[in-house]
Amino acid sequence: MASLLADAFAVEIGAKEPWPDNVSLYQPFEVGQILLPDFAACLGVKTYLSMCGLNYELVFKKNAEHMSPSGKVPFMHIGPFLISEFDPIVAFVNTKGFHLSSHLEETERGEMRAYMSLVDNVLLNAELYLSWCQEDVVTEVSRPRYGSVYPWPLNKVLSWKKYYEERRRLKAMGWAQKTLEEVCEEVKTCCQALSEKLDKNLYFFGDNPSELDALVYGHLYTLLTTVLPVSRFAEIIQEFDNLSQFVSRIDSKYHSKDLQR
């Protein structure tokens, strides 16, 4: 508890300084190592920072996951601070005075949080399910990629260790027991909700992007463009035209160069 207070205090003090030049964002290697859920998380953060117009340096490290103070990627190194994951990074950026959702009303902001929570509960868990509970994907993609940066025998030992850890977590959340059909249903429901909210607008809340746009873009782009033995989710998303258009719109605006996968 004491360290949470200390962190909050430290961040408040850091808010007085402007955005420095030497901010780094750490993530695993994109070409051979990173997995589906981590790619979505990193992409969401990168899009958010681009939307705010903030500079950062992208650093690829094979041990980014272990360097991170919370064990999850991406994490940001800014001055003496280390902040990991989407929500804390957004909160930190807000303290520096950069807001994407300042134009929203209280109710709209509440709605935005609800949608973000929906995306986290459904899309993120669906990605984890796909990566670690679908046997084809596990043996052909997840385990080899996770262990690819380590020498033998660590590549085998660590990928199995990660497999058991992720499965245990998903089991505790009740996702490991679901069938692929059930998961697809949940993804479809989530996409339906997002599609209805987006409707014919440019962004989810009017003409300006918000955190929700960055987060949704991260997940949808990942699911649409990653080639996996099981591609059901991509097909589901493509049923919703406005979501696909949303993805390509943000892609061309904020990520003008193609991300190598």
Cβ burial, residue 17 (10 Å; 0-12/13-18/19+): exposed
Shortest distance (Å) from residue 137 CB to another protein: 23
Of 65 and 211, the one with the shorter C-beta distance to another protein is: 65
Measured torsion, CA atoms of residues 98, 99, 103, 107, in degrees rounded to the nearest 10: -160
Of 62 and 167, the one with the shorter C-beta distance to another protein is: 62
| Chain residues that interact with another protein, rule: CB under 8 A | 3, 7, 61-63, 65-67, 69, 77, 82, 150-151, 154, 157-158
Shortest distance (Å) from residue 5 CB to another protein: 13
Shortest distance (Å) from residue 8 CB to another protein: 13
Of 26 and 204, the one with the shorter C-beta distance to another protein is: 26
**Quick count: other Cβ atoms within 10 Å of Cβ 70?**
12
Of 4 and 172, the one with the shorter C-beta distance to another protein is: 4
Question: Integer distance in angstroms from the first to the last C-alpha of the chain?
Answer: 40
* Pairing of β 57-60 and β 75-78: unpaired
Shortest distance (Å) from residue 28 CB to another protein: 11
